A and B are shown apart, each in its own frame.
Chain A
Amino acid sequence: NAGVMQNPRHLVRRRGQEARLRCSPVKGHSHVYWYRQLPEEGLKFMVYLQKENIIDESGMPKERFSAEFPKEGPSILRIQQVVRGDSAAYFCASSPPAGWNTEAFFGQGTRLTVV
């Protein structure tokens, strides 16, 4: 019973390139969340998606960042024209439809380094 799978685990990009981070949720989970974590800090909410819908993207920068969760396939977090400040760990979490005691299961993260 696989958990949340993220790939790649580590990603190095030069400034100006694009970064694509993938997240496959727990089987049967229809809700995906992306968080960003800087070193020695907590996780910051970026975006919440359901299949084919963005529900809440209030934590995502307005420019260069986008996310999708298509009907088929993994969720993708896309960062265009990366800058050094984008270097961070990006975590994906999934959950079944929300309700009481609906914990979110996290993946192992993608560590993005912009050089």
Chain B
Amino acid sequence: GESVGLHLPTLSVQEGDNSIINCAYSNSASDYFIWYKQESGKGPQFIIDIRSNMDKRQGQRVTVLLNKTVKHLSLQIAATQPGDSAVYFCAERPGNFNKFYFGSGTKLNVKP
């Protein structure tokens, strides 16, 4: 069901610091996870994804960690920039088509 949740609704970081956004999911059958970034007035934008047979995946300045034992996802953003300010959602997919369950989001504020 729709039980993806986030620990921190708002996160403020200083420009240049690293950011960590956490997410808990509840469906053990979920096999695919995506982090989306949503800027004000825009649609969700893909950041990075990870499959359930992996525990870590790296992109440009972003890393996603998956801990299936405790059903936890995290998004790490290195050297956070003002342009990273947005709401971040994790989404899980418990089936074999793109019906995603989204968490309520974490708002990231980057202070200059």
Contacts and interface: CB of A to CB of B under 8 A. Distances in A.
Chain B CB within 10 Å, residue with most, of A40, A41, A104: A104
A33 B101 CA distance: 12
Contacts, number: 67
Contact of A103 (B34, B41, B99): B34
Interface string A99-115: 11111111111000000
A33 B49 contact: no
A55 to B, nearest CB: 7
Contact of A42 (B41, B43, B89): B89
A55 B41 CA distance: 29
A69 interface: no
A108 B32 contact: no
B76 interface: no
Interface residues of B, number: 25
Interface string B76-112: 0000000000000101000011111111110000000
B97 to A, nearest CB: 4
Interface residues of A, number: 28
B99 A109 contact: no
Interface of B: 2, 4, 32, 34, 36, 41-46, 49, 51, 89, 91, 96-105
26 contacts: A31-B97, A31-B98, A40-B104, A40-B105, A42-B4, A42-B103, A43-B89, A43-B91, A44-B2, A45-B99, A48-B97, A56-B99, A93-B98, A98-B98, A101-B32, A101-B51, A103-B46, A103-B49, A104-B34, A104-B100, A106-B43, A106-B44, A107-B43, A108-B41, A109-B42, A109-B43
